[in-house]
Amino acid sequence: MDNIKEDVVGAWNQVHRCLEKKLPGHAIHAWFEPIIPVGFRNGSFVLEVPNQFFLEWIESHYKDDIIKALEKTYSDKIQYKFLITKEKKKKVERTAPQTSAFEPKAKRFNNLNLKYTFENFIVGSNNEFAKTASESVANNPGEQNFNPLIIYGGVGLGKTHLMHAIGNRALENNRDLNIVNITSEQFTLDFVNSLRKNKTIEFAQNYRSSDILLIDDIQFFRGKEQTQEQFFHTFNVLHQSGKQIVLTADKFPGEMKGLQTRLLSRFQSGLSVDVQPPNFEVRVAILLEKAEQNGLSLDYSIIEFIAQHIKNNVRELEGTIIRLLAKSSLLNVEINNRLVTEVVKERVGGRIGNQVSIENIVKKVSEVSHIKENDIVGKSRKMEITEARQVSMYLCRDIMGTSLNNIGMFFGGRDHTTVIHALKTVNEKKSNNVRMKKMITSIRKELGFSFL
């Protein structure tokens, strides 16, 4: 018996190595390290996982990868099965926060927050393009097509993070760069002070000597004519000498009110990229990352609960983790469901339960696709109806993180493999079918799940 057990562990290690070659480190860490290989039962390789959420996640994301890795290891087709761990894992394990140890004591002149890096920025379809563009700018500052780079989007979606990450990376590549990093309010204040002290020439020189100029939240230039004038000249000097400019804003530059048109037209010479609210999967990944950064190990059911309720804003997700930590240590209680519900309730203003519901989603899909709601949740296999049903299933998972079983139950009592198939189909269609992409974007927008 022991022999078989040893074999299983050895085999699993091999499977693990195969997976490591294919999947990103954070996926291995989050989803594969907690798996315990148990042994063979009725011809299936049995893997123990912490809970149902975990099981569904792996099934819907990594099924094919596991099958392939098992096949490679055994040179044969091998079935596998999950078993959910019976005993409850310890809820909180606390270690000292890791970040502080790496922070230099002296505050740096450029105010770059060293915690904002590309490495700890979680990527999803909501911010992928913004991150890629930012990284490219950091590695090749001043390149014509990306100058200025404007990162825009709603509150708490990572604009400042990306901008600082650009500064940090550029400095890593070249310590000698003069990076000026400032908010538009500081810029304004600095300018007003220079006027008062008759030092506008020094002011201009200061800014114009930068190799990379980072200005956060330029919507605050709104209505400040003289500051805009100064900024316009600074912008031109830097741009003409091939120095990189990175700006963040709350809206697409073309839609910004109160900024001079000549400024807006300058912005068009570069690249504008947006950040959108993260979907359920990205929210889970962010929560896992933030919990780990804070030395907190949370049950997956808790992570899932938070991700289902806090939807629009990464800062809020982070705030929830920190609040949980603070409350549990102040009150000296374990982080349990009650505490989590309490904290999440505070955050969403008491509205526990989703503002967006499955019914809501079906209603919107019905409006857009002109398929009756009853048909969407019914049994028909007609092509248009199936498609509307699949889109609805996809949106339930994507926005709310509804479990596969619950989705299946709601949509005509289907089982979870049907749901997985639906999600996969929509995912594929979404990337190569413009009509599908438009439909999904517009429904998300109507459900208020997009900042535009």
**Which residues lie below 8 Å from residue 69, measured CB to CB, with a gap of 6+?**
15, 18, 19, 22
Cα separation values, 100 from 104, 107, 114, Å:
9, 13, 10
In a 3-state reduction of DSSP, which class is residue 308? helix
Residue 155 binding ligand ADP, by CB under 6 A:
yes
Report yes or no: 151 and 275 within 8 Å, Cβ to Cβ.
yes
The least distance separating ligand ADP from the CB of residue 315, rounded to whole angstroms, comes to 4
**Which residues lie below 8 Å from residue 110, measured CB to CB, with a gap of 6+?**
167, 179, 180, 181
Minimum CB distance to Mg ion smaller for 70 or for 214? 214
Minimum CB distance to ligand ADP smaller for 160 or for 234? 160
In angstroms, how far is CA 269 from the centroid of its own chain? 28
The least distance separating ligand ADP from the CB of residue 120, rounded to whole angstroms, comes to 6
Question: Residue 263 corresponds to which tokens in the numbers above?
Answer: 């400024």
Q: Which does 158 bind (CB under 5 to 8 A by kind): ligand ADP, Mg ion, none?
A: ligand ADP
- In this chain, which residue has its C-beta nearest to Mg ion? 160
The least distance separating Mg ion from the CB of residue 157, rounded to whole angstroms, comes to 9
The least distance separating ligand ADP from the CB of residue 282, rounded to whole angstroms, comes to 7
The least distance separating Mg ion from the CB of residue 312, rounded to whole angstroms, comes to 15
Residue 320 binding ligand ADP, by CB under 6 A:
no
Residue 8 binding ligand ADP, by CB under 6 A:
no
Among 157, 214, 271, 321, which residue interacts with ligand ADP (rule: CB under 6 A)? 157
Residue 328 binding Mg ion, by CB under 5 A:
no
x/- contact string, 138-167, with Mg ion (CB under 5 A)? ---------------------xx-------
Q: Which does 156 bind (CB under 5 to 8 A by kind): ligand ADP, Mg ion, none?
A: ligand ADP
Beta bridge partners of 131: none
Sheet holding 179-183, edge to edge: 179-183, 212-216, 244-249, 149-153, 271-275
In a 3-state reduction of DSSP, which class is residue 287? helix
* Residue among 126, 210, 120 nearest 169 (CA): 120
Minimum CB distance to Mg ion smaller for 126 or for 160? 160
Within 102-131, the residues that bind ligand ADP by CB under 6 A are: 116, 120-122, 127
Among 15, 314, 324, 419, which residue interacts with ligand ADP (rule: CB under 6 A)? 314
Minimum CB distance to ligand ADP smaller for 47 or for 321? 321
Minimum CB distance to ligand ADP smaller for 82 or for 118? 118
Minimum CB distance to ligand ADP smaller for 304 or for 318? 318
The least distance separating ligand ADP from the CB of residue 160, rounded to whole angstroms, comes to 3
Among 148, 158, 167, 253, which residue interacts with ligand ADP (rule: CB under 6 A)? 158
Minimum CB distance to ligand ADP smaller for 126 or for 308? 126
Sign, CA torsion 173/175/178/179: positive
Among 70, 165, 218, 286, which residue interacts with ligand ADP (rule: CB under 6 A)? 286
Residue 160 binding ligand ADP, by CB under 6 A:
yes
**Which residues lie below 8 Å from residue 291, measured CB to CB, with a gap of 6+?**
297, 298, 303, 321
How far is residue 58's CA from residue 66's CA, in Å, rounded to a whole number?
9
Which phi and psi angles does 115 have, rounded to 5°? -80, -15
Question: Residue 295 corresponds to which tokens in the numbers above?
Answer: 């030395």
Size of the site for Mg ion (CB under 5 A): 2
Residue 167 binding ligand ADP, by CB under 6 A:
no
Question: Residue 318 corresponds to which tokens in the numbers above?
Answer: 């982070």
Residue 253 binding ligand ADP, by CB under 6 A:
no
The least distance separating ligand ADP from the CB of residue 322, rounded to whole angstroms, comes to 10
- Beta strands at 36-41 and 244-249: parallel, antiparallel or unpaired: unpaired
DSSP H helices, 122-197, are 128-139, 159-173, 184-196
- Beta strands at 79-84 and 44-49: parallel, antiparallel or unpaired: parallel
Minimum CB distance to Mg ion smaller for 160 or for 403? 160
Report yes or no: 280 and 307 within 8 Å, Cβ to Cβ.
yes
x/- contact string, 263-292, with Mg ion (CB under 5 A)? ------------------------------
Residue 184 binding ligand ADP, by CB under 6 A:
no
The least distance separating ligand ADP from the CB of residue 122, rounded to whole angstroms, comes to 4
Residue 322 binding ligand ADP, by CB under 6 A:
no
- In this chain, which residue has its C-beta nearest to ligand ADP? 158
DSSP secondary structure letters along 179-221: EEEEEHHHHHHHHHHHHHTT-HHHHHHHHHT-SEEEEE-GGGG
Q: Kindly list the residues in this chain that would bind Mg ion in the complex (CB under 5 A).
A: 159-160
Q: Kindly list the residues in this chain that would bind ligand ADP in the complex (CB under 6 A).
A: 116, 120-122, 127, 155-161, 286, 314-315, 318
